[in-house]
């Protein structure tokens, strides 16, 4: 049995509320977990992304933050079914 590792595979995801060091406010975070990579979080207020608590370099684009927020929201909406079945059994 081989294991296929893909950047888009997610093992778990959740929404948390925490302090964001970038926008300096309490915010909601979209988090997903990947084996090998750990937790990846996106601040839904400013779009800053974190990997296991470390800042991720932000793409030098004026739309980068907005795109991060949009893709986080899309993931949460579209991929919940992908995660949940593991926990239902
Ligand atoms: Zn933020």
Burial 56-83 (b: 16+ CB within 10 A, else e): eeeeeeeeebeebbeebeebbeeeeeee
Give the distance (Å) from ligand 1 centre to CA of residue 29: 8
Q: Which residues of the chain have pLDDT under 70?
A: 1-8, 84-89
73 contacts: CB under 8 Å, gap ≥ 6: 30, 44
Would you say the pTM of this structure is higher than 0.85?
A: no
* Tens of pLDDT, residues 74-87: 999 988 877 765 55
- Write down the domain spans for the chain: 12-82
Give the distance (Å) from ligand 1 centre to CA of residue 23: 4
List the helix and strand counts (H, then E) for the chain: 2, 5
Give the distance (Å) from ligand 1 centre to CA of residue 76: 18
In the block, residue with structure tokens 């915010």: 27
> Residue 1: what pLDDT?
43
Give the distance (Å) from ligand 1 centre to CA of residue 2: 38
Give the distance (Å) from ligand 1 centre to CA of residue 51: 14
């Amino acid at each position: 049995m081989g294991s296929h590792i893909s950047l888009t595979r997610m093992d778990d995801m959740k929404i948390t509320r925490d302090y964001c060091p970038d926008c300096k406010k309490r915010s909601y975070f979209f988090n997903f977990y990947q084996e090998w990579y750990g937790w990846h979080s996106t601040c839904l207020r400013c779009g800053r992304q974190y990997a296991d608590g470390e800042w991720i370099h932000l793409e030098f684009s004026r739309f980068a933050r907005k795109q991060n927020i949009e893709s986080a929201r899309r993931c949460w909406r579209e991929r919940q079914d992908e995660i949940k079945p593991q926990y239902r059994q």
